[in-house]
Structure 1
């Protein structure tokens, strides 16, 4: 050791300390994530890949230390100013790293996704976001923990520096040069990441066939800074034109002479309701299908909603295009998948002007009810700019008191909406957006006497998709809210001529293996699988329909039921039209993936690496490697590309009539 320069020794010790820290954080994530599908022994490849990602990030710090530390005024052992400079840099690096890991842990606990650039979206709604964070997490303890850990690590770096400074160096000038070159090459190799023409990329984590393994592999620095490059969106006009015939065929319309026009007039169809029904569309927060009673969850969390489904038309293979409330509301209102990355379309000023089928409900009163504030994610701009003569109700418009950061409780939101709707003399189209099935999982005091909380063992909860009794009870409380709403609505005269539509804004990640094939968990289909219910006793015969459907199909189907002519400029279709083809486009902005659910398969493509996969959604059998399935993969890939390019184009080019 004596012939190794002190600077190199100190760099090696620094790298080792950071590597231990990063490894402990990865182990902590594994322990906290409580994934029953994988044991530690099954994640060896993920941990090894994670080690490579960690060494890359650490080497990005060590390489400047090597180069700048070799300059005499900045040398940490021959210059007092140099020592002070590097101790300050290391202190900043330690605090920065611990802060990133803390935010990453909270981000993963909330979304089951490693920290990525989409977290910057929350800064645009800082007051609401910070309120939710403050009410959901022990912020004071987390900050104190970060400061204590940072102080301990900084003290340890000082101890290592003192220890190395007392050691002797017996090497020559040549050994200094050799040591510098060797250290430089090793750091350079770790930054590049592998013996290959191409460097190690964050997207390599997804070559392991499981989003959970990818999450274990990545660290927050790799995932965050790698996703920053997708902050600016565009579209390829030529690809849109090329994909138009395929898109038109799958949506059952004939393209016009304009290869960039997706607008088509749809006439009232046979079998529609002729009573000019009222519409109540409920966008249900985090209504994950596998957690509910309709799909056999033994915890029986939604018995009332299950009873509604047995009396209405339930589409049991409905998917949201992507994950996230803002994206779900966007897709429902506009009929276009929100494929913006990492920001949502609602936050993009260039996309705020959008056509919506709601405006084709002529002579209908339009209402939107939200328990909190629509300033969140610029949803107010999307609604008020695009829905004609909208009556918008927010938390300050109700007599009920605010219970948490999300505003009034869902139960009170339903009752307040019912009071308004009961007074209407004209037909109405009303949207009610819920929020209680969300951290901090508040059950209002006023309901705790009637709403009885459940209590299950941790094993039962995790086996059937829940992380805690608090989350499970919040899910049950949504069912309580639906029951209270329907009980109140049945007493009003509008009820008998109203179509109630319920759709989840998105699902929730978790272990769905007890109820669905493994792909629903491993490929995160459970984050997009939601119930879609059309309920109108006396007007709609009960059915359970297995056609693959999408959130973007909601408004075209409502319009088709309502016996109106409408302009469809969406990527949605009328699900009750016998000519409809069942498929759903899916998009994962956090992992930069697009795909299609169609027939028995999920197809996904990684946008950076172009890696493709085809998995079964009906069983756990591997997809055969034969010509027939290669053809299926090819066709689904072409459809995915066409829908993705079209969605990107339509986000900018779906303006209201006359625009």
Structure 2
């Protein structure tokens, strides 16, 4: 020990003191909560995860102390001034830590949630909030307690400094350098949190499948600072109430006496399948409609999928609410457009608790297959916290090798998923999320004999939506993956009683003038227009449907097809219900624009500047400036406002039962 520099020895003691404090606070939360039925023996993993979060916070304090304390003028053992500076800083840190924990305990006692940044909203009514706090909590005793514990901790830190200062240092300059590097790297590892491509995230706490376990694992710093950037994520309750009748009229229900209650019961429709069919929902990476064969692209990129569309129920005017994979997965699984800005809803700890219609498929096994990691965009917490009994398969769960940053190839993802599904004895609801149709556009060497790359002139590529041959061949490779999957599935017993649903997570912005009216390019509809297919030979009669539809409609439509009575509390609708109205909400976070695609028009407006426009989506004609079209624009503006305000409300109020 004497060969380790005094600075590092003291930092180790300091880290241990704070780690004991953090652990005692977590144990205190466990003792004071009403969830002790779990028992400490069942919470080992939760406490270990909490230890990792605590080590991150402690390392964030210790690493700057290591770097700055190594400067002679600030060294806590060779400089009297350095000692005073660090004791003062540690005193402030101690008070800060104890203050956070005390507020966290009060916050949890009041709301059964760990401290988050929404508490800052109370500062807008500071006088009322302080009076409430003063009347609700023993403030004087709490402050005295914090000060007393702070004095004790500062005394212990002083004692540890005095103990280390009396110990000799017998090491060399070489051992000093090695100790510095080892401590720095260890601290860096604790901050990152794991040996993985992705760091430890707050959402990993919710992957335990229990809100209580998640809250117990987190510390107030992790929960507060991760929600800080979302503290303005809110909604205008008055507007939501005023616009509730608009939502009811478009979603075919009458709002209750509580206009903030949007829950309604969905029922099977005529022609529902009563054989408890399996569901395989494929979320297709960057499956942009105008680049595919179904919409007449002459590059013939997706001939196999085109053949499936001719055999199933194909919706050719489907839109994702917005652009981005995380937002697309969110909308599909929750039924709510992700209108979070600037980050995504999946990254917002306050929105992690969501109801999903998937849970209404009682008696079904639930699966989610992804060739990479669900740590991406914090999506793991959304999945495991909200889908009951989910079997989650990621890169490390498959035999196939990783080919790039996105994990294993889509072909291998499909084939390995098929093998797992073929073994199931109960009905299942499976989601497969692809990734290959994305930079770096990797096509595995093992597939180059069966999948043939093609050449195309540069001008043809640009004209029909592709920026390079690599992009086009990657798009074609997705079609190859779909073919390999369906051909393998056809050989399995589950195939004949399975509905395969394919939908793009989002489109790709680009020039689609050769295939669509100019508005699709100019207003970036290409980034949200995706194929939606329900494929089940023998169960569903083929038809091509022109009804305007949305990603949020996928789960209600699946449930309606499967003779499932379900609870719908979001902005999705059953597309095969004869009373359904066709429209799709769109949201562009990059330009702060929101709008609706409905009938022959796209309406959209800027949230800040309030600039609005109405354009045709069926031709290049200018929209007439007359009373009839002014009325259309007004109707779509009201619907846009209703959908946007309600989506903001639902993101924070669609909690699972």
TM-score (norm 2): 0.65
Cα contact 2:436–2:478 (8 A) shared by 1: yes
Distance 2:589 2:424 in 1: 41
Distance 1:269 1:602 in 2: 30
Moved more, 232-241 or 344-353: 232-241
**Structure 2 residue 541 is matched with structure 1 residue 541:** yes
Distance 1:557 1:128 in 2: 36
* 1:268 CA drift (Å): 2.5
Distance 1:504 1:239 in 2: 32
Counterpart position of 1:587:
587
Name the SS for the 2:493 alignment partner. Answer: coil
* 1:457 CA drift (Å): 1.1
**Structure 2 residue 261 is matched with structure 1 residue 261:** yes
After superposition, what is the alpha-carbon deviation per residue over 1:358-379, rounded to whole angstroms, capped at 9, x for unaligned?
0000000000000000000010
Counterpart position of 1:578:
578
Counterpart position of 1:522:
522
**Structure 2 residue 565 is matched with structure 1 residue 565:** yes
Cα contact 2:517–2:617 (8 A) shared by 1: yes
Name the SS for the 1:494 alignment partner. Answer: helix
* 1:252 CA drift (Å): 1.0
Distance 1:270 1:638, change over 3 A: same
Counterpart position of 1:274:
274
Counterpart position of 2:408:
408
* 1:127 CA drift (Å): 7.7
Distance 2:612 2:196 in 1: 40
1:69-88 superposed matches below 5 A:
none
Structure 2, unmatched stretches of 5+, are 1-191, 200-227
Counterpart position of 1:388:
388
Counterpart position of 1:168:
none
Counterpart position of 1:634:
634
Cα contact 1:231–1:341 (8 A) shared by 2: no
**Structure 2 residue 481 is matched with structure 1 residue 481:** yes
* 1:266 CA drift (Å): 1.7
* 1:253 CA drift (Å): 1.3
User: How many residues are matched?
Assistant: 438
After superposition, what is the alpha-carbon deviation per residue over 1:611-631, rounded to whole angstroms, capped at 9, x for unaligned?
000000000000000000001
Counterpart position of 1:470:
470
Name the SS for the 1:594 alignment partner. Answer: strand
Distance 2:238 2:195 in 1: 39
Name the SS for the 1:354 alignment partner. Answer: coil
Counterpart position of 1:653:
653
Cα contact 2:586–2:596 (8 A) shared by 1: yes
After superposition, what is the alpha-carbon deviation per residue over 1:124-164, rounded to whole angstroms, capped at 9, x for unaligned?
9998599xxxxxxxxxxxxxxxxxxxxxxxxxxxxxxxxxx
Counterpart position of 1:459:
459
Distance 1:268 1:638 in 2: 30
Cα contact 2:240–2:645 (8 A) shared by 1: yes
Cα contact 1:355–1:656 (8 A) shared by 2: yes
* 1:267 CA drift (Å): 2.5
Cα contact 1:128–1:376 (8 A) shared by 2: no
Counterpart position of 2:602:
602
Cα contact 1:342–1:589 (8 A) shared by 2: yes
Counterpart position of 1:338:
338
Distance 2:441 2:332 in 1: 25
Distance 1:125 1:567, change over 3 A: farther
Counterpart position of 1:245:
245
Distance 2:323 2:270 in 1: 35
Cα contact 2:511–2:521 (8 A) shared by 1: yes
After superposition, what is the alpha-carbon deviation per residue over 1:320-354, rounded to whole angstroms, capped at 9, x for unaligned?
00000000000000000000001000000000000
Name the SS for the 1:402 alignment partner. Answer: coil
Name the SS for the 2:478 alignment partner. Answer: helix
Distance 1:331 1:318 in 2: 13
* 1:570 CA drift (Å): 1.4
Cα contact 2:266–2:556 (8 A) shared by 1: no
Distance 1:485 1:570, change over 3 A: same
Structure 1, unmatched stretches of 5+, are 1-122, 131-227
Counterpart position of 2:5:
none
* 1:232 CA drift (Å): 3.3
Name the SS for the 1:294 alignment partner. Answer: helix
Cα contact 1:231–1:342 (8 A) shared by 2: no
Name the SS for the 1:329 alignment partner. Answer: helix
Distance 1:126 1:264 in 2: 45
**Structure 2 residue 350 is matched with structure 1 residue 350:** yes
* 1:270 CA drift (Å): 2.4
Distance 2:486 2:596 in 1: 35
Counterpart position of 1:320:
320
Counterpart position of 1:494:
494
Distance 1:640 1:550, change over 3 A: same
After superposition, what is the alpha-carbon deviation per residue over 1:165-187, rounded to whole angstroms, capped at 9, x for unaligned?
xxxxxxxxxxxxxxxxxxxxxxx
Distance 1:587 1:427 in 2: 36
Distance 1:443 1:598, change over 3 A: same
Cα contact 1:422–1:494 (8 A) shared by 2: yes
Cα contact 1:548–1:584 (8 A) shared by 2: yes
CA RMSD in angstroms, aligned pairs only = 1.8
Cα contact 1:602–1:614 (8 A) shared by 2: yes
* 1:269 CA drift (Å): 2.4
Distance 1:125 1:262, change over 3 A: farther
Counterpart position of 2:292:
292
Counterpart position of 2:66:
none
Distance 1:129 1:510 in 2: 31
Cα contact 1:231–1:343 (8 A) shared by 2: no
* 1:257 CA drift (Å): 1.3
Distance 1:441 1:231, change over 3 A: farther
Distance 1:598 1:230, change over 3 A: farther
Distance 1:522 1:240 in 2: 31
Cα contact 2:319–2:584 (8 A) shared by 1: yes
* 1:256 CA drift (Å): 1.3
After superposition, what is the alpha-carbon deviation per residue over 1:48-98, rounded to whole angstroms, capped at 9, x for unaligned?
xxxxxxxxxxxxxxxxxxxxxxxxxxxxxxxxxxxxxxxxxxxxxxxxxxx
Cα contact 2:517–2:618 (8 A) shared by 1: yes
1:544-555 superposed matches below 5 A:
544-555=544-555
Cα contact 1:365–1:429 (8 A) shared by 2: yes
Distance 2:480 2:194 in 1: 29
